[in-house]
């Protein structure tokens, strides 16, 4: 069963490369170039996972993350979030995880690691869904 992945980043080249990787894994890809757009797409499409940048115009990744986690729709609220960001400090990573991100990968990233993490998160969430 194909999964839908939402890629949120203001760097078009990052979006392009990540989208390529996800498609190669057989996932359906949605994109957004800032936080606000991401939330709108999220509500409209309810994807299975979100890859989220932090430094973006209009609404940053941390804000998006915490809003997702309090969303009324449990499917959205429990959606796995993978933060993919150039903010590489320990404190920032902890902040992202405590705001509800399921994984945190810093740029520049290993494509293999990213793909593996995405698949792991998708598998874990579908197991959880099955149990629920």
Partner 1 sequence: MLGPKVIVVCALLYLGLLFAIAYWADRRADRKRSVISSPTVYALSLAVYCTAWTYYGSVGRAAASGIGFLPIYLGPTLIAALWGTLLLKMVRVSKAQRITSIADFIASRYGKSQVLGGIVTVIAVLGVVPYIALQLKAISQSVTIMQSYPLVNDTGVVAAIPILQDTALYVALALAAFTILFGTRHLDASERHEGMVAAIAFESIVKLVAFLSVGVFATFVLHDGFVDVFDKAAAAGVMKTMTVASAGGYGNWFSLTLLAALAVMMLPRQFQVAVVENSDESHLRRAVWMFPLYLLLINIFVIPIALAGQLTFAGTAVDADTFVLTLPIAHGQALLSLLVFIGGLSAATGMVIVETIALSTMVCNDLVMPGLLGRWKRIPPPSDFSQLLLRIRRGAIVVILLLGYLYFRFAGEAYALVSIGLISFAAVAQFAPAMIIGLYWRGGTHAGALAGLLCGFGIWLYTLLLPSFAKSGWLPAGFLEHGPFGIALLRPQELFGLSGLNEITHCLFWSMTFNIGAYLYFSMRRQPNVNEATQATLFVDVLKHERPFGVALWRGKAEVHELSRLAERFLGVERARYAFARFADQREVESVDQLPADAETVHFAETLLAGAIGSASSRVMVASVTAEEALGLDEVLDILDEASQIRAYSRELEQKSQELEAATGELKAANEQLKEIDRVKDDFMSSVTHELRTPLASIRAFSEILQDDPRIELEQRRHFLEIIVSETKRLSRLVNQVLDLAKIESDNADWHTEDVDLGELIREGAESTAQLFAERGARVICEVPAEPCVVTADHDRLMQVLVNLLSNAVKFAPQGGGVVRIILQAHGRNFRVSVIDNGPGIAIPDQRHIFERFRQGSGGTEKPVGTGLGLPISRRIIGHLGGRIWVESRPGKGATFIFELPVNDGA
Question: Using CB under 8 A as the criterion, which residues of the chain lie in contact with partner 1 when the complex forms?
Answer: 10-14, 16-18, 20-21, 24, 33, 55, 57, 86-89, 106-112
The CB-of-11 to partner 1 minimum distance in angstroms stands at: 6
Provide the b/e sequence for 95-131 (b: ≥16 CB within 10 Å). Answer: bbeebbbbbbbeeebeeeebbebbeebbeebeeeeee
The CB-of-127 to partner 1 minimum distance in angstroms stands at: 28
The CB-of-14 to partner 1 minimum distance in angstroms stands at: 6
Q: Which long-range contacts (CB under 8 A, 24 or more apart) does 21-24 make?
A: 21/111, 21/114, 21/115, 22/118
8 or 79: CB nearest partner 1: 8
Q: What is the dihedral of CA 47, 60, 39, 75, to 10 degrees?
A: 50
22 or 79: CB nearest partner 1: 22
15 or 76: CB nearest partner 1: 15
The CB-of-20 to partner 1 minimum distance in angstroms stands at: 6
98 or 111: CB nearest partner 1: 111
Phi, psi of 63 (to 5 degrees): -65, -45
């Amino acid at each position: 069963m194909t999964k839908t992945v939402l890629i949120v980043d203001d760097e078009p080249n990052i979006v392009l490369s990540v989208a390529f990787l996800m498609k190669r894994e057989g996932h359906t890809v949605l994109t957004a170039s800032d936080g606000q757009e991401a939330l709108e797409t999220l509500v409209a499409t309810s994807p299975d996972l979100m890859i989220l940048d932090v430094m973006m115009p209009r609404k940053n990744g941390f804000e998006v993350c915490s809003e997702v986690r309090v969303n009324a729709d449990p499917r959205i609220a429990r959606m796995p979030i993978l933060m993919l960001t150039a903010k590489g400090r320990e404190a920032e990573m902890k902040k992202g995880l405590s705001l509800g991100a399921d994984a945190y990968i810093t740029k520049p990233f290993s494509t293999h690691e990213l793909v593996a993490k995405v698949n792991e998160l998708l598998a874990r969430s579908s197991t959880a869904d099955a149990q629920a």
